[in-house]
Amino acid sequence: MRRGSVICPTLAILNESDMDNLLLKNGRLVNIFTGEIVKTNILVSSGKIREIGPYLSGEEEIDLKGSYLLPGLIESHIHLESSLLSPNEFSRLTLLSGTTTLICDPHEISNVLGIKGIYYLLKATRNLPQDFYFLIPSCVPATKFETAGGKIGLKEMRRLLKEKRILGLAEVMNFPGVISGDKEILGKIRLVQKSGRELVIDGHSPGLRGKDLAIYLFSGISSDHESVNAEEAKEKLSLGMWIMVREGSAAKNLKDLLPIINWRNERRLLLCSDDIHPEDLLKEGHLNAILRKGVSLGIDPILLLRMATLNPATYFPLRNIGAIAPGYRADMTIVKDLKDFRVLMVIKNGAVVAKDGEIATSLKGYELPNKSTFRVKGLSLERFLVKDERKVIKVIKVLPGQIITKKELVVPKVKEGEVISDTERDILKLVVIERHKGTGNIGIGFVSGFGLKEGAIGSSVAHDSHNIIVVGVKDEEIFSAAKRIIEMRGGMVVLGRGKIKELALPIAGLLSDKKAEEVISSLEEMGDWARKLGCQLVNPFATLSFLALPVIPELKLTDKGLFDVEKFQFVPIFGD
């Protein structure tokens, strides 16, 4: 209650039923609207900000001792599945980093389970102490050149659009289809536009410029997170796009986009992580880590904070969050300073949910039924055999630190009429095994760049359809790795010298049901063992996961065969 003043009738009526007044006193409020920092008190009631001022009291009081009060941070674009963590664990780590609201694109799990995957995430996040919102994936399956487990068409979209936590259509990756007038993708866009709700249509348009960009925007798409240089981002900004400045585990664009991050443009700028790995979440943080890096690069912290609070709330739009003001939801992150952004406390809907690096509330999740998503038929060692045709073979050449590949033509190593791996030239056998519909499809190819001298590396995380992918020296080792992945109901495996290191991913073959610390420990053990077996890559699983994606140049392998992205067609292993 305000001391020394008369309570207005509205507050008097509210006070009759509201007995949960919380006073946050002696805090430095970062006013997102004006850019000012003011030492003041904040009164919270019924999960909302009631008053701001120096002369307030509450039934419960917390002395912030000069710490900074920020609006709860808002993630504008992320694939939860890239963390390999269950929704509970993902929530724990992002909450400890000060994130109170997330907008997720469930593209990965949808390619495995279709609409069931989205409903699983809606249920799994319903009672967590954060707000999880979702966009409907626009391209499931991603292409017709691979076998996916799910499909999101107009029928599924109509069902999902009834869900309040669905905010629109996720990144429209098929920008060539939009430009050429593809009826399927345009039909999805029109369905969202005619839904009667205020929904967004997110974009995905790497390198798109000029007339093609104008056509893309004319369709109704309004954002992009794929800009990798300031010139591209500036053109998109000038045409009215919202630019999501991405700083994730793999793609890091913050530094390159520095020239556009200024007070002239800030109203249309957002921060996002897109994909983030568990070790980065645990050791560095989430959006607070991006804020920290931004300040180190010389960006004004207030500008950065707007990109992670008010701007995403405005874009989506999410009412009454993104700022600290009377009537706004009491979602707040308290940090020690505006340099390191070390989180001291997180308040969600007026309740303390995290404090001093610990969760202060229960994480009530929902787990996917204990059911395998693997339906593999016709798997046998004999099917990995590649008979020599006395011709050169096409080899997928991995480029370190990149997801694009190159095509090489080499004379294969042959033994008893069979093409085999050649460790001296770093040419290894690669297989992709269909695991969703029991088609029996097995794609076989060869890859260079892994450096394995013995053993095999396999995973059920293989973009975008997430079939089983294994690279190895001997067929027996490849076969053993694939079998183990199926037995675990999904996961990652490194085996060789009679030993096996593994991480089970039983939730759709994509997510672990273990603590983040256990997941990270397993990843480190597998990485160490892969290096002992000769692997030269910093993150072999990340590289492996993109070798089955037939939309990234130049040569890729799916369950249906070797795919030349430049020619946009399947090609035989042999011949030029």
Asked whether the predicted pLDDT for residue 373 surpasses 60, the reply is yes
Residue burial 192-210, b: 16+ Cβ < 10 Å; e: rest: beebeeebbbbbbbeebee
* Residue 477 CA: distances (Å) to CA of 470, 498, 536: 9, 10, 19
Q: What is the mean pLDDT of residues 533-548?
A: 94
Q: What per-residue confidence (pLDDT) applies to 477?
A: 97
Q: What per-residue confidence (pLDDT) applies to 404?
A: 85
Q: Which amino acid is at 306?
A: R
Asked whether the predicted pLDDT for residue 4 surpasses 70, the reply is no
* pLDDT tens-place string over residues 109-160: 999 999 999 999 999 999 999 999 999 999 999 889 999 999 999 999 999 9
User: What span, in angstroms and rounded, lies between the C-alpha atoms of 110 and 118?
Assistant: 6
Average pLDDT, the chain: 93
Query: Where is pLDDT greater, at 106 or 56?
Result: 106
Residue 330 pLDDT class (50, 70, 90 cuts): very high
Q: Which of 278, 280, 312 is nearest to 89 (CA)?
A: 278
Residue 521 pLDDT class (50, 70, 90 cuts): very high
Residue 9 pLDDT class (50, 70, 90 cuts): very low
Asked whether the predicted pLDDT for residue 552 surpasses 90, the reply is no
Asked whether the predicted pLDDT for residue 451 surpasses 50, the reply is yes
User: What span, in angstroms and rounded, lies between the C-alpha atoms of 119 and 91?
Assistant: 17
* pLDDT tens-place string over residues 273-298: 999 999 999 999 999 999 999 999 99
Q: What per-residue confidence (pLDDT) applies to 369?
A: 65
Q: What is the mean pLDDT of residues 519-544?
A: 95
Asked whether the predicted pLDDT for residue 8 surpasses 70, the reply is no
Asked whether the predicted pLDDT for residue 365 surpasses 70, the reply is no
Q: What per-residue confidence (pLDDT) applies to 78?
A: 97
Q: What per-residue confidence (pLDDT) applies to 403?
A: 83
90, 327 contact by CB (below 8 A): no
Q: What per-residue confidence (pLDDT) applies to 370?
A: 64
Asked whether the predicted pLDDT for residue 6 surpasses 90, the reply is no
H-type alpha helices, 347-391? none
Percentage of the chain surpassing pLDDT 90? 88
What share of residues in the chain are helix, strand, coil (percent, to 5)? 30, 30, 45
Q: What is the mean pLDDT of residues 371-375?
A: 88
Q: What per-residue confidence (pLDDT) applies to 111?
A: 96
Asked whether the predicted pLDDT for residue 101 surpasses 60, the reply is yes
Residue 55 pLDDT class (50, 70, 90 cuts): confident
Q: What per-residue confidence (pLDDT) applies to 160?
A: 98
